[in-house]
Amino acid sequence: MSATALTWRRPVTVHRANGPHAALCGDCGARHSGLCDALTDEDLAFLARMAQPMTVAAGQLLIEEGAPAGHFYNINHGHMRLFKALPDGRRQITGFAAAGHFLGLASDHVYAISAEAMDDVTVCRFARAQLHTAFETFPALERKLLEVAMHELSFAQEQFLLLGRKTARERVTSFLLNWAAREADCATAPAPGTRLRLLPTRTDVADYLGLTIETVSRTLTALKRDGLIDLPDQHEIVLRHPAALKEIAQAV
């Protein structure tokens, strides 16, 4: 566990327990997404007092699979990769988490996955015991969490189909369309020419799709050759023909 690598930042606002809640959550990237969106400003201000703000530098582990699940986290800013690994190093990324994403809820008392920062990340940390209290005080929180869990479950089922039955080409296009939907924060089809800012590296994409980096690279090149996408630079992708991509992706 690389807890020692984490830098701690305890802003003065934390100590102003009776100060305006805006100082706590008003400028948070997660204020209107995830669990925080389920609460009123007052309730959130109350809840924020039990949160420990902290930062995680790019590349650092926040959560390690198998470690005792003592804390929960809510991402305020930045992005994380969530993954499981086999003893021999094979890795499967189970998802990418952004602001508003709630991390660390394990059915067991041990984390089921690892979480690593892809860029500089800030989170709110809660002790396991505190969450239980929060549920008692704010039932809306539990309801929202159930809603989020159901949503993640149906996404997981879609991902089963991708990992178990789709070809490399189908996987990559499914991923691009999913990423576009995530960036646009909506489910409507992206317009032709939509520009994606792709934070994950080719390795990340490969480990997410159950492929190798070479196959991801070749597939992107092939999609470009076919006029379906453009690759202005390594981390940008332009969707030239989203309708055709959707066709290839087999919905999703």
Partner DNA sequence: CGTGACATTGACTAGTATCAACCAAAGTGG
Partner DNA sequence: CCACTTTGGTTGATACTAGTCAATGTCACG
Taking the C-alpha atoms of residue 215 and residue 218, their distance in angstroms, rounded to an integer, is: 5
The reply on whether position 85 binds DNA by CB under 7 A is no
Phi and psi at residue 238, to the nearest 5° = -105, 125
- The least distance separating DNA from the CB of residue 216, rounded to whole angstroms, comes to 7
Q: Pairing relation of β-strands 102-103 and 91-97?
A: unpaired
Residue 105's binding partner among a second copy, DNA, none (Cβ under 5 to 8 angstroms by kind) is a second copy
The reply on whether position 223 binds DNA by CB under 7 A is no
Kindly tell me which residue out of 13, 33, 55, 212 binds DNA, with binding defined by CB under 7 A: 212
Taking the C-alpha atoms of residue 109 and residue 67, their distance in angstroms, rounded to an integer, is: 9
- The least distance separating DNA from the CB of residue 118, rounded to whole angstroms, comes to 10
Give me 157's structure tokens.
């089922």
The reply on whether position 182 binds a second copy by CB under 8 A is no
The reply on whether position 188 binds a second copy by CB under 8 A is no
CB-nearer residue toward a second copy: 12 or 187? 187
The reply on whether position 183 binds a second copy by CB under 8 A is no
- The least distance separating DNA from the CB of residue 214, rounded to whole angstroms, comes to 4
Count of residues in the chain: 252
Cite the beta strand spans of the chain per DSSP E. 7-8, 52-56, 61-63, 71-77, 80-85, 91-97, 102-103, 114-117, 121-127, 194-197, 229-233, 236-239
- Determine the residue type at 138: F
- The least distance separating a second copy from the CB of residue 115, rounded to whole angstroms, comes to 12
Give me 138's structure tokens.
């704010």
- The least distance separating a second copy from the CB of residue 195, rounded to whole angstroms, comes to 28
- The interface with DNA within residues 139-198 (CB under 7 A) comprises 167-169
Report the interface residues with DNA, using CB under 7 A.
Answer: 167-169, 201-203, 210-218, 220-221, 231, 233-235
